[in-house]
Structure 1
């Protein structure tokens, strides 16, 4: 097999199901794919009161290690903090990281969050905050039907980083809701939600104009992009 395994981690409010179309396309192309549901996101009735960022870090790390060889770690949206910390725990097990409309934060996403859990915002607020280009009403309705509140601890806790080897992991930033030029501008302005990019030594930016949830609005194109990263990572190992 000449390509690295792929681990798909969804963003806030989502489970492994969010990747179904992309995962199916990748598997049809011969890729080894694992999609995760992070702790607390399994069921709306789950107890999220004690779920924190380190629980998500451990879940991502365990999936990476379970692959048995270095993986391409794909992190969508709010999963970036846990995923970046997981690369810090086992950098030798990560052949490449892909941030999908996300970036590694340099601190907590919302240090002032006091809530036990954070539900998916109302439709009007979601539309105001995120790019919904290319998403059908049916997709948005399914998202709302299946969305699970995000544990508050994941937002208020900052990643703990110790191993500088994470800085050398080849990284691709897929810019969907905003352009690569805009992302670079925010990085230069010092925004904390993507501040970790400043310390990485091998970063490539790719524009894929579409919604914040490209696994639904442009699944085939995203699968092709991820498959290419996996092939290059496999060839380099």
Structure 2
């Protein structure tokens, strides 16, 4: 089965490199994507929005010979869910990596815009729970993979319109949250909890990692993605 891997903000297809071996060994075909506008200057990135990221995922779905699994890390989860909404009959499962399905109208997040793009803010910007398992060597290795994203990407509201997406099986691979902790957190976000509870077949698996398991424990993340495919 094609496993379409969608990176989060600032990351490209290479961010999945260390996760691929378990997926290949299990007989699947990984398809890591490079989001449109990544690292582009503001003049060429200005018109690139979340809909373009979703369209790039949808194009990969359309290019596959059969049903696909979508894997979205962090902000890439919005692109995965948007593509699932666009092609509910082609997606066998959506795997969210340390993120949750967004409701209609939700953006990814708010980040500072500099010269028309959103640059990677550096590891020190993030809470310890997100980066505690990234040692200095891993941070130094991963940081060069981070590139600016177009201004609109994290701020555009997602447009969802096909309720059939709620019938797609969903696995949430959460860094430090189990099912009870995740649902307690979602209870504070009305739109998100409604989207989550509308999904008829969902499971939550704790990774025991920070926010970037593809860098800190890639073999485990790859194994968990394989385990979710069934």
What TM-score results when the alignment is normalised by the length of structure 1? 0.87
2:89: which partner in 1? Answer: 92
Q: Are the structure 2 counterparts of residues 110 and 174 from structure 1 closer, same or farther at C-alpha, using a change threshold of 3 Å?
A: closer
User: Shift in Å at residue 87 of structure 1?
Assistant: 0.4
Contact 1:51 1:153 in 2 (8 A): yes
Contact 1:102 1:194 in 2 (8 A): no
Distance 2:108 2:194 in 1: 11
Q: 1:23 aligns with which of 15, 20, 25?
A: 20
Contact 1:44 1:149 in 2 (8 A): yes
Distance 2:71 2:190 in 1: 22
1:75: which partner in 2? Answer: 72
Structure 1 residues 113-135: Cα deviation after superposition (integer angstroms, max 9, x where no partner): 76632111133212x26512332
Matches within 5 A, 1:1-237: 4-41=1-38, 43=39, 45=41, 47-106=44-103, 107-110=106-109, 116-126=116-126, 128=127, 131-190=130-189, 196-230=195-229, 232=230
Contact 1:8 1:19 in 2 (8 A): yes
Contact 1:105 1:194 in 2 (8 A): no
User: Shift in Å at residue 165 of structure 1?
Assistant: 0.6
Cα RMSD, aligned residues only: 2.1
Distance 1:210 1:94 in 2: 27
Unaligned stretches of 5+ residues in structure 1? 233-237
User: Shift in Å at residue 193 of structure 1?
Assistant: 6.0
Distance 1:104 1:20 in 2: 24
Contact 2:9 2:149 in 1 (8 A): yes
Between Structure 1 and Structure 2, the one with more helix by share is 1
Structure 1 residues 138-191: Cα deviation after superposition (integer angstroms, max 9, x where no partner): 221122222111222112211111111101000000111444332211211126
Q: Once structures 1 and 2 are overlaid, which stretch shifts more, 25-34 or 80-89?
A: 25-34
How many correspondences in the alignment? 226
User: Shift in Å at residue 69 of structure 1?
Assistant: 0.7
Distance 1:54 1:192 in 2: 20
Contact 2:5 2:33 in 1 (8 A): yes
Contact 1:135 1:217 in 2 (8 A): yes
Contact 1:101 1:212 in 2 (8 A): yes
Distance 1:122 1:50 in 2: 25
Where 2:187 maps in the other structure, the secondary structure is: helix
